[in-house]
Structure 1
C-alpha cells in the first residue's frame, strides 16, 4: 500500500489525472481557510455532513453522539480533511486517501493539531482495492468530475465497500444550468473558485453515474439534489439535481 514516503505510486493508476492532482496540490495550504479558495466548500460542508450522518445512521440503525463507533470509513479524495475530521468525531475509524502528497500533508497537520487520529495516505482507489481494503462507508465527494477513467475508477471504489456498506458519490450534473452556474458563474463571475478549477465536459449526468455504479455491482438507493440559494447565501437539500447532487449506493 502506498504511503506518504512513496508518493509517486499514487500517480500510476489510470484514473488519476496528473494535471488535476497538480491543480489541487497548488491550493493545498488553503483547505482550512474559510475565506480562501475553498470557501464554497466550507459553506457546502454542513449540508453534506448532515446528509451523510442521517443517511448512514438510518442505514446502520445507529443513534447517539458517536453513532458510528466500531464502523470504518474511507474518504477518497480527502483533500485537507474537511469531511474526515467530523466523521472521526462521529465515531468512525477513518482512512483518508488522496493522490496529492501536499493535500495529505495539510490534512495530517490539521488532524494532529485537532487531536484526531486519522489514517491519511497518499494513494488511489485502485491501489487500495488491490490491497484488499474495504470499509463500511466510502465517501466519494466531488471527485468523479476530476478523474481520467470514470468507469475504472468507480469499479475500484465499489470494491472498497464492504457487504452491507454504503458509498456516497457527490458531483456536478452536466447541464446548461450547471455550465452557467457551477462553471461560468462560480469561476468567472463570482470568482468563488480559481478559473479552470472545473472542466464542464467532465461533469456527469445522474443516469450515467448510476449506470456505472450498477455496472460495478452496487445497488443505487437514492439520488439527492443539493441547491444553493443566493438570497439566503445557503445550501440545502432539494429535489433539484440540475447542478449538484449526491448518489447513495450500497453493496
Structure 2
C-alpha cells in the first residue's frame, strides 16, 4: 500500500528517525561534517524560496530585508540551516523539529549569531492544532522521514494562511534515486551516513501533488535539483528523477 493511502494516526513521529538525527545533532553547523550535503544544497533551495516569495508577495529583491513582515515556518528545521538566512532577509521565522536536541543546537547557534528565531520542539500536527498559520510553510527533506505521510501533509497544509505558500522538497521513488541518493551517496561517496534514507519511503511528484491538492492547495511550480560535480554545486533542473521541489499556494486573500 502506498503512503498516500495510509489511514490517519495520532502522530507523524518516527522514533527511529528522531534518534538517527539526534545522534548527529552536534554536526549541524559543520560544513564538512555529516550535514555537508545540506550545506551544499542550501543555496539552490534558498534561492528558489526567495524567488517565489518575492514574486508571490510583490517584494523588491533589491531591498536589504525584502521578506520583512512575512511569517515563515520551517517544519523539521534541524539545526536551523534555512531559518537563519531567511531571518537575515527580514522574515519572522519559526522553526520546529521533533528532535529536542536539534532545537537546542538551533537555538544556541541563533543566539551566537544574534538572530531572533522562534524555535520549538514540536510536530506539525501539534502546531496545526493551535490554529496558527504562516505566509509560507517549508517542508524540506522531511516527508521521507515521517510516519503517516497523509497526516503530516495535511498538518503542513493546515498551517498555510489563505494566500500563502508551501514548498515540499524530497526524493523521487525511482531506481535512479535508489542508485544515486542511497547507494552512491551513502555507500560509495559517503556523503551521508549509511541508513539515512529508506528508498521505500520516497514519494513521487504525483503522490505529493495529490496530497497537496487533497488538502485544498494549488500547485504553482515544480523543479528538479541536480548536482554538477565540476562546479561542485546543486542547480535547478527539469530532471525531477532524483531530487525535486514542488511549490503550492492556498487560495484566498
Q: TM-score, normalised by structure 1?
A: 0.94
Which residue does the alignment assign to 1:20? Answer: 17
Within 2, Cα distance between the matches of 1:13 and 1:164?
28
> Match of 1:136, SS?
strand
Q: Which residues of structure 2 form unaligned runs of 5+? A: 1-8
Q: Deviations over 1:193-236 (max 9, x none)?
A: 10000000001100011001110111111111111112322110
Within 1, Cα distance between the matches of 2:230 and 2:175?
22
**What's the CA shift for 1:36?**
0.1
Q: In 2, are the aligned partners of 1:13 and 1:124 still within 8 Å (CA)?
A: no
Within 2, Cα distance between the matches of 1:83 and 1:21?
19
> Match of 1:187, SS?
helix
Superposition pairs for residues 96-111 of structure 1, below 5 Å?
96-111=95-110
For the pair 1:198 / 2:211, whether they are aligned, the reply is: no
Within 1, Cα distance between the matches of 2:23 and 2:144?
18
- Worse overlay, 169-178 or 223-232: 223-232
> RMSD value over aligned CA atoms?
0.9
Equivalent pairs counted in the alignment come to 240
Which residue does the alignment assign to 1:68? Answer: 67
> Match of 1:116, SS?
coil
Which residue does the alignment assign to 1:168? Answer: 167
**What's the CA shift for 1:133?**
1.1
> Match of 1:123, SS?
coil
Superposition pairs for residues 138-149 of structure 1, below 5 Å?
138-149=137-148
Q: In 2, are the aligned partners of 1:187 and 1:193 still within 8 Å (CA)?
A: yes
**What's the CA shift for 1:14?**
1.9
Q: Deviations over 1:150-183 (max 9, x none)?
A: 1111001100000000001000000000000000
Which residue does the alignment assign to 1:33? Answer: 30
Which residue does the alignment assign to 1:55? Answer: 52
Q: TM-score, normalised by structure 2?
A: 0.93
Runs (4+) off by over 2 Å: none
